[in-house]
């Protein structure tokens, strides 16, 4: 169990990135959903011991993460948002080098670890190729391979599918899903579908605060009967926003589809079955209204 208590962080320039974050994250996939600039990467870097928060505490099992960062690092696998690699080094040699850094010094053990990870991430066929020649999806799969070195108990992946094409995204998400339920896996992203597809538990982070948390199915159920759809002309958007609480807009066949949040059905609308995207947009609308 990862326990985060009263975590806040203010950067030296006065920017407040996190405010009183409290989360309990157990084994399995956990989705941390939020827009760019919400504080997700700051939270992930803090959990990964790459920066020290202004206030608060983090515990992973019996490890006080802030007091014992080296202990946590031995149990951590981390794929940051901007994962840099040595471009002229092959995938095999880079993983071999990283395994040494993780303390796997016996050559035979290291060989077994590296070969297993290359097979698991479907990179065996390109193991001798320089990482500079990898596609975006292949680099992300390599990033997961390095994060899995040492069989970590805690795995953090930050915006892993941003920029991937649909095929590579599906391949990467299948890989994440196959990591197993016996590890704590945090998926930090602004892509709603990634969380909807993978995570039985989630939270929404915005403006540095946890705005919502729970099971996606329960959160979706809470919006049923409150989200309505209306098809309008594009030049009616401003007028519609003045009358209704519009949480999202989408162009379709030259018209604009708006989703409206309301406890009662507005005139001229149709009910929407609802999904995690509506939950997310409704939460962000609440945040904007409270600002």
Q: How far apart are CA 16 and CA 59, in angstroms?
A: 22
Q: Residue 86's pLDDT band (boundaries 50, 70, 90)?
A: low
How many domains is the chain built from?
Answer: 2
* pLDDT greater than 90 at residue 169: no
Residue 280: predicted pLDDT: 93
Q: Residue 285's pLDDT band (boundaries 50, 70, 90)?
A: confident
Maximal C-alpha separation, the chain:
71
- Residues pairing with 10 in the sheet: 16
- Listed residue (153, 149, 142, 50) closest to 99, CA to CA: 149
To 5 degrees, how large is the angle CA 251–CA 203–CA 57? 145
Question: Exposed (0-12), middle (13-18) or buried (19+): which is 77, by Cβ within 10 Å?
Answer: buried
Q: What is the residue-averaged pLDDT of the chain?
A: 91
- Listed residue (29, 9, 28) closest to 18, CA to CA: 9
103 and 76 Cβ atoms separated by less than 8 Å? no
CA dihedral 146, 150, 155, 159 (to 10 degrees): 0
Final residue of a structural domain among 168, 195, 215: 215
For the chain, what is the total number of helices (H) and then of strands (E)? Answer: 10, 14
Rounded mean pLDDT, 112-140: 91
Give residue-wise pLDDT tens across range 177-233.
888 778 999 999 988 988 988 899 999 999 999 999 999 999 999 888 899 999 998
* pLDDT greater than 80 at residue 84: no
Q: Residue 277's pLDDT band (boundaries 50, 70, 90)?
A: very high
* pLDDT greater than 90 at residue 50: yes
Q: Any idea what the CATH number is for the domain that residue 65 is in?
A: 3.40.50.300
**Same-domain status, 154 and 25:** yes
- What percentage of the chain reaches a pLDDT higher than 70? 99
Neighbours of 259 (CB within 10 A): 22
Q: With H, G, I as helix, E, B as strand and everything else as coil, classify residue 197.
A: helix
Residue 85: predicted pLDDT: 64
**Same-domain status, 211 and 96:** yes
Give residue-wise pLDDT tens across range 238-264.
999 999 999 999 988 888 999 999 999
Contacts of 211 (CB under 8 A, 6+ apart): 203, 204, 205, 283, 286, 287
Specify the DSSP class assigned to residue 52. Answer: -
**Same-domain status, 114 and 139:** yes
**Same-domain status, 277 and 203:** no
**Same-domain status, 132 and 31:** yes
- HEC string of 198-238? HCCEEEEEECCEEEEEECHHHHHHCCCCCEEEEEECHHHHH
Rounded mean pLDDT, 114-143: 91
**Same-domain status, 118 and 238:** no
Residue 66: predicted pLDDT: 96
What is the value of pTM for the model shown? 0.88
**Same-domain status, 146 and 233:** no
* pLDDT greater than 90 at residue 54: yes
Residue-range definition of the domain harbouring residue 132: 2-215
Final residue of a structural domain among 167, 198, 215: 215
Contacts of 98 (CB under 8 A, 6+ apart): 146, 149
**Same-domain status, 173 and 237:** no
**Same-domain status, 180 and 49:** yes
Q: How far apart are CA 287 and CA 92, in angstroms?
A: 46
**Same-domain status, 122 and 187:** yes
**Same-domain status, 10 and 140:** yes
Q: How far apart are CA 136 and CA 140, in angstroms?
A: 6
**Same-domain status, 100 and 13:** yes
* Cα–Cα distances in angstroms (integers) from residue 259 to residues 33, 99, 237, 282, in the given order: 20, 49, 11, 10
Final residue of a structural domain among 215, 233, 252: 215
* pLDDT greater than 80 at residue 282: yes
Q: Where are the alpha helices (DSSP H) in 5-54?
A: 40-47
């Amino acid at each position: 169990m990862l326990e985060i208590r009263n975590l806040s962080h203010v950067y030296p320039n006065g920017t407040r990135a996190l405010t009183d974050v409290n989360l309990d994250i157990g084994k399995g996939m956990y989705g941390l959903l939020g827009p760019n600039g919400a504080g997700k990467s700051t939270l992930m870097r803090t959990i990964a011991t790459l920066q020290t928060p202004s206030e608060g505490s983090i515990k992973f099992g019996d490890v006080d993460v802030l007091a014992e960062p080296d202990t946590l690092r031995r149990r951590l696998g981390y794929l940051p948002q901007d994962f840099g690699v040595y471009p002229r080094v092959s995938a095999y040699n880079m993983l071999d080098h990283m395994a040494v850094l993780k303390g796997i010094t016996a050559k035979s053990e290291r060989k077994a670890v590296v070969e297993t990870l290359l097979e698991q991430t479907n990179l065996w066929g390109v193991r001798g190729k320089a990482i500079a020649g990898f596609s975006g999806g292949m680099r992300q799969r390599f990033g997961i391979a390095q994060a899995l070195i040492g069989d970590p108990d805690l795995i953090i992946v930050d915006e892993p599918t941003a920029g991937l094409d649909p095929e590579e995204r599906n391949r990467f998400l299948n890989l994440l899903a196959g990591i197993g339920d016996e590890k704590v896996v945090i998926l930090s992203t602004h892509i709603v579908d990634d969380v909807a597809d993978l995570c039985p538990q989630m939270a929404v982070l915005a403006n540095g605060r946890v705005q919502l948390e729970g099971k996606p199915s329960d959160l979706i159920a809470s919006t049923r009967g409150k989200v309505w759809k209306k098809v309008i002309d594009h030049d009616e958007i401003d007028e519609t926003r003045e009358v209704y609480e519009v949480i999202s807009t989408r162009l379709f066949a030259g018209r604009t589809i708006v989703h409206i949040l309301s406890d009662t059905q507005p005139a001229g609308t149709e009910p929407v079955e609802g999904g995690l995207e509506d939950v997310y947009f409704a939460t962000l609308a609440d945040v904007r209204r409270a600002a």
